[in-house]
Chains A and B, each alone.
Chain A
Amino acid sequence: MASGPLETYSPSQTLERRHQQQKRKSFNEIDWARSDGRNFHQCRPAYLRTGATSSASGSAYAEFGSTKVIVSVFGPRESKKAMMYSDVGRLNCNVSYTTFSTSTRGQGSDNKDFSSMLQKALEGAIILETFPKTTVDIFALVLESAGGDLPIIISCASLALADAGIMMYDLVSAVSLSCFGKNLVIDPTSEEEACQDGSLMIAYMPIRNEVTQFTLTGEWSTAKINEAMELCLDACSKLSNILRSCLKENVLDFTD
């Protein structure tokens, strides 16, 4: 037992498991209260700021409830030597988590899944023709994960891209939604995500009225999908306004 790396465990594991079982039961009922006191169609308060890291071309920090994310954008800079010639610019995305981002200590490894999702969500919004032969690197670090990580990373990354002066058709804002039986719950926390019956995430460009990414999991009826989409798109438009006002504030600060 003494040999090899030390075996450790988090003392709160048992507690959480019990907690989750209780929650799962309550989510099946028609009416329940969300742990943070929001109603079902209410998003968490968002705090956004650009210029989080000075060494990057552009960066942004986002805090939605207790989910905290930093995104840095580097470039456009020289592509890797092994890359083939390309008329249009490339996007290179990487999403990683800190070891303390979740309630039990993780490995702090890269999230390959989210990395490619982030790239796909942003690719359609960036005018890649403006930086041929070069690469724009988008690196995200999740400081604390408390649900809705991917949509927050996407929104934060589009803000960082704008801060870096990368040409885009429009800002991308993303919002997720969970389905519990008859109820649709917007901007779920990780606790809610763990018990959901189905989920929907939309990344949207409100001014062009175009969706760059749409993921749907679980069992849905067509009517429910339509209702959920309406909710998400509405929340995306509102979030986009927040992103825009954050950028404007920055410019005003600069000119003062």
Chain B
Amino acid sequence: MASTDGDRPESKLAAEIEVEAYRRLFPLPYYDRHLVESVRPDGRALGQARETTIAVGPVSSANGSALVKLGDTTMLAAIKLEVMTPSTKSPDEGSLAVDFYMPPICSPSIRPGRPADTAPVIAKQLSDAISSSGMINLKELSLVSGKAAWMAYLDIYCLNADGSLFDAALLSATAAFSHLQIPLVSLNDSGRVITISEEQKGKSVSEPLNKEIRKLAIKNTPFSLTCILHDKHILADPTSEEESVMDTHVTVVLDSKGRLVSSYKAGGSVLLSRSMIKNCMEIAKQRMEELGEILKESLSAMEID
């Protein structure tokens, strides 16, 4: 490596340090100069999302679970089923509780005891997107009409926060629901629902409530894409650095048929023009198809195992 022109590597190093310093000192001009060339600092095109992987069933103590990696953003979703008494208004419907957690391991800015401000916001958006897309038919969670129904606790943990948290969380939620298996249960003498274990299966004490371990029928899966608007540029799937430098974020949620479920734009310095909205939708639609493929692949990979 010790080359003949000895001063070369040194000057290269100096240039590198300058770029890094420039990035930290003047983040906005740094991004502007990239965006003019239609490229982002991590080498992506403007409308390109990061590499996405889904692993289903990593948590054995849950009824359904999924781990999603969106670039460096990592989400772990798990669903636990418990039994509840359905409300008198809807006696043959189960229920769903969504929660989103940002434990202190996920980001240097979160300290224990002080929950992140964004966590409850994302939790609300998630539960809205899941309920309004009609992905889950709550009637399927019923056990005995008016007496017992499943309560599905969906808990999503952000293990590493690097931007586009809502997109990753929603994807992990849909993957966990696709993986969810409803266990075999029966009623005991005191009217409580109990699980039937493997060894009890043959010499069943009481009639099982459901014939076999089953999965939920999932339709109209919602997929989302967050974009950053900056001048005339639309940056899909931003990292946390991009999110902190540029402040106008638009999230579009589409279902698998391409219908708009919801769309958020919480303030920001850039105002949306109609053509911008259209462009965002267009990118979101492409992304929706991409994510649908990835989800299908990961689920079929699981079935082979």
Are the CB atoms of B82 and A11 closer together than 8 Å?
yes
The answer to whether the Cβ of B188 comes within 8 Å of any Cβ in the partner chain is yes
Interface size on B, residues (CB 8 A): 46
Known pairs A53-B160, A144-B61; A99 contacts B155 (CB<8 A): yes
Cβ-based interface call for A96 (8 A): yes
Bound-state CA distance A68–B78 (Å) is 14
Report B47 CB to chain A, min CB distance, Å. 24
Complexed CA–CA distance, A14 and B191 (Å):
13
Q: Which of B22-30, B106-114, B255-263 lines the interface with chain A? A: B106-114
Q: A102 to B185, alpha carbons, bound, how many Å?
A: 20
- A-B pairs, 3 with minimum CB distance: A72-B105, A8-B82, A94-B112
A47-89 interface mask toward B, CB cutoff 8 Å, 1 = contact, 0 = none? 0000011111001000000101011101001000000000000
Q: Which of A38-46, A135-143, A191-199 contacts B (4 or more CB under 8 A)?
A: A135-143
Residues of the B chain whose Cβ atoms lie less than 8 Å from the Cβ of A13? 194
Interfacial chain A residues near B78, Cβ < 8 Å: 98-100
List chain B residues, Cβ under 8 A from A1.
Answer: 85
List CB contacts (< 8 Å) of B99-139 with chain A: 99, 101, 103-108, 111-113
Starting from the known contacts A56-B105, A96-B104, A101-B61, 18 additional A-B residue pairs (CB-CB under 8 Å) come to A2-B88, A7-B84, A8-B151, A11-B192, A11-B193, A13-B194, A55-B106, A55-B108, A98-B101, A100-B62, A105-B80, A105-B82, A139-B103, A139-B105, A141-B105, A141-B157, A143-B59, A145-B61
At the interface, yes or no: B248 with Cβ under 8 Å from chain A?
Answer: no
Q: In the bound complex, how far is the Cα of B155 from the Cα of A140, in angstroms?
A: 18
Specify which of A7, A53, A68, A139 is in contact with B74 (CB 8 Å cutoff).
A53
- B85: chain A residues at CB < 8 Å are 1, 6-7
Measured between C-beta atoms, what is the minimum distance from A74 to chain B in Å?
Answer: 5
Known: A15-B194, A52-B159, A54-B160. A9 touches B83 (CB 8 A): yes
> Of A6, A70, A98, A110, which contacts B155 at CB under 8 A?
A98
Highest count of chain B CB atoms <10 Å: which of A8, A141, A143? A8
B209 to chain A, nearest CB (A): 10
B195 interface residue per 8 A CB criterion: yes
Indicate if the CB atoms of A141 and B103 lie closer than 8 Å: yes
Q: Give the total number of A-B pairs whose CB atoms are below 8 A apart.
A: 122
A10 sits at the interface (CB 8 A): yes
Instruction: Kindly state whether residue B31 has any CB partner on chain A within 8 Å.
Output: no
Number of interface residues of A (CB under 8 A): 44
> Does the CB pair A100–B60 fall under 8 Å?
no
How many Å from the CB of A120 to the closest CB on chain B?
17
A12, CB-defined interface residue at 8 Å? yes
Residue of A nearest to B79 (CB): A100
- C-alpha gap A195/B6 in the complex (Å): 69
125-153 of chain A: CB within 8 A of chain B: 137, 139-141, 143-146
**Which has the most chain A C-beta neighbours within 10 Å: B61, B106, B188?**
B61
Instruction: Indicate whether A226 reaches chain B with its CB closer than 8 angstroms.
Output: no
Q: With a CB–CB cut-off of 8 A, which chain A residues contact B159? A: 52-53, 70, 141
